Amino acid sequence: MDKMSEREWKRLDGVGRVEQGLLSNAEAAALLEISARQMRRVRARVDEMGAQGVRHGNTGRAPVHRVAEEIRARVVALHVTKYGGFNDQHFSEKLAEVEGLVMSRATVRRILRAAGIEAKHQRRAAAHRRRRARRAQAGLMILWDGSQHPWLEERGPQLCLMGALDDATGELLAGAHFVAHECAAGYLRLLAALACSKGLPWSAYMDHHSSLFRNDDHWSAAERQRGVQEPTQVGRALAALQITVIAALSPQAKGRVERLWGTLQDRLVAELRLADARTQAQANAVLEGFIPDYNRRFARPAAKPQAAWRPVGAGVDLARVCSFAYQARILNDNTVRLSGVVIDIPPGPAARSYARARVEVRQLLDGSWRVYHEERLIATAPATNTGELRALKGRYHWAPPAAPARPTKAQSSTAAAANAGAVQAPLTNPKAKQARRVG
């Protein structure tokens, strides 16, 4: 006989006390919280079967709804082979949607644990934290970031997933895509796709990656004069679209987007493995189908149903805004040269020449070039692979000077006496040849 529970020992003791005359049948039934009729049944079973009579009749029997052994074996085999590395919830979803085996996560978990397959993630008690309240409406704030990770495992190159999350709903927004590494082009492409599909958010929450913020000590002459650095290419686009920038001061501050990466590094990696994706193009194709499924499972309604996405202004050239911008001067032969790229400038109205004119040069995300003079498009050029120009030649390592301390009265008197008989040093020749700086 198997070890009896405390409840069964209590019933057996109660039956013994009734048989010994220490308790009446009704008194024992009240103490055991059963009816007097049930108490008589228990006593009759104990007389017939001994101590085994206090046990429930189904003890030791297989449950009627127990999963058949062949199905249990199939579940274990699928997890070991086709769905290796899937977590319990993800695996149970695939069993229902792909394999036609509909069962709860708890059932799947029991089958796997009984087969000696440990959980992918060990559960632990959550630490107490006070979470920032979500924005009330979709479109009030996005959180965007890049995640460098072996998404293709050993099958292909390491990629970076560029993605944006709506703070109010937790929705993985359209435009997420894989690139070789986190870069300005990835953020600009994400911003352009988001503007076309949803609209413009009111604010963007981000870390201090060099594509988003200037983290260097290089200052041009114009920046020194203004006392502020030029923004990055992405920062310039955000300012043009009137999107407020919110900087995260620690990794914990952008916890929602970090939790997104944790989920995707689990589920999306498994989906890429299932699809046998090996290239960046194949990974992007899997991601395109994965995003709607992710949002169906994890997105939540906003506190206020009315979305706050702003439409792109009618006069905004989104392709120009979400591109790489450079200032240049047209040479005497009416060309613009940037990083080995030569752009011919055709004659202007009345066959005018643009030689020595300052222009804005834009490389669009498709690689093509545009040249603007006083907001007027004057030239285009076909696509190249130049990408963002990061050269900092000709810039200064400089910080805004601190205000000089006022000299004391004694120091002023000493300096005046010392300078009374001093000979003034000759001025530097203003016509001396200056070192050329490439901006």
How many CB atoms lie under 10 A from the CB of residue 128? 5
Write out the two tokens for 254: 């952008």
Write out the two tokens for 127: 């630490």
Nearest to 166 by CA among 185, 150, 188, 143: 143
Instruction: Give the whole-angstrom CA distance, residue 58 versus residue 66.
Output: 14
How many CB atoms lie under 10 A from the CB of residue 38? 12
CATH (residue range 142-298): 3.30.420.10
Nearest to 195 by CA among 168, 173, 170, 179: 173
3-state DSSP: the chain helix, strand, coil percent, rounded to 5? Answer: 40, 15, 45
Q: What is the per-residue DSSP string for 144-168? A: EEEEEE-TTGGGS--EEEEEEEETT
Cα three-residue angle 181-186-190, rounded to 5 degrees: 145
pTM across the whole model: 0.68
Q: Which residue ranges make up each domain of the chain?
A: 6-54, 69-114, 142-298, 323-381
Measure Cα distances from 216 to 51, 228, 229 in Å: 82, 12, 10
Place of tokens 């702003």: 310
Phi-psi region of 120 (alpha: psi -120 to 50; beta: other; left: phi over 0): alpha
Cα three-residue angle 153-158-162, rounded to 5 degrees: 110
pLDDT tens digit at each of 439 positions of the chain: 567 778 888 888 888 899 998 889 998 888 888 999 999 998 998 888 888 888 776 676 767 778 889 999 999 999 999 999 899 999 999 999 999 999 999 999 999 999 989 888 777 766 656 677 899 999 999 999 999 999 999 999 999 999 999 999 999 999 999 999 999 999 999 999 999 999 999 999 999 888 999 888 888 888 888 888 889 999 999 999 999 999 887 767 778 888 999 999 999 999 999 999 999 999 999 999 999 999 999 999 999 999 999 999 888 999 999 999 999 999 999 999 988 899 999 999 988 999 999 999 999 999 999 999 999 999 999 998 877 775 444 344 444 444 444 545 444 454 444 444 433 333 334 343 333 333 2
Strand (E) or helix (H) holding 48: helix 36-49
Instruction: Give the whole-angstrom CA distance, residue 16 versus residue 19.
Output: 5
Write out the two tokens for 369: 């070039």
